[in-house]
Amino acid sequence: QRTDGRKIIVEVRESPVVENGKVKEIVGSLVDVTERKKAEEELISISSLNQKLLDSSSDIIYIYDLEKKRNIYSNDKIKDIIGYSPDDIKELGDQVILSFMHPEDYNIYLEETIPRYASARDGELIQHTFRMKNKAGEWLWFDCRETIYQRSELGEPIQIFGMMTEVTDRKKAEAAIILAKERAEENEK
């Protein structure tokens, strides 16, 4: 407690003074770390809030490292949707996209989506749709929205922040509508 009555948090620093192999005295100082502790507590609170927001999303939210070709973060929603935990996804390393993405969609991803990262401006959304295999072996459709999250000193994209929404039911409905239209056109002929 300070002389003005205000309570503070201090860090104690002590050093022994040794003479003839014995500690003669201890010299110490107190450093006021109240503001640093408040800032640390605020960061912890903000981090906790951010994690709660990410985990409450109905979308899969992730950060993907383009250089290492691996997910460095996925929210817990990934387990609910595809059956794999965020740790399972991390363990796949540079095989994560190849392991889950449909081969036809993977080729489109390589040819069309990857080049868009290089020319994307900060804040620009890169959108694509693809199929991904869940743990049960079923192909699910996803709409994906991504933006550059981190760049190198030269301005090249290093990491992307993305959100994936599972849209399998919508894709099935669209396919059913197309099929119904084709059948109706055939019946008119």
The closest alpha carbon to 132, from 181, 60, 64, 51, belongs to: 60
Is the whole model's pTM more than 0.85, yes or no?
A: no
pLDDT in tens, 115-152: 999 899 999 999 999 999 999 999 999 999 999 999 99
Half-sphere exposure of 77 (CA within 13 A, CB side): 17
DSSP 121: P
pLDDT in tens, 62-100: 999 999 889 999 999 999 999 999 998 888 888 888 888
In this prediction, residue 50 carries a pLDDT of 67
pLDDT in tens, 14-44: 888 888 888 888 888 888 888 888 877 777 7
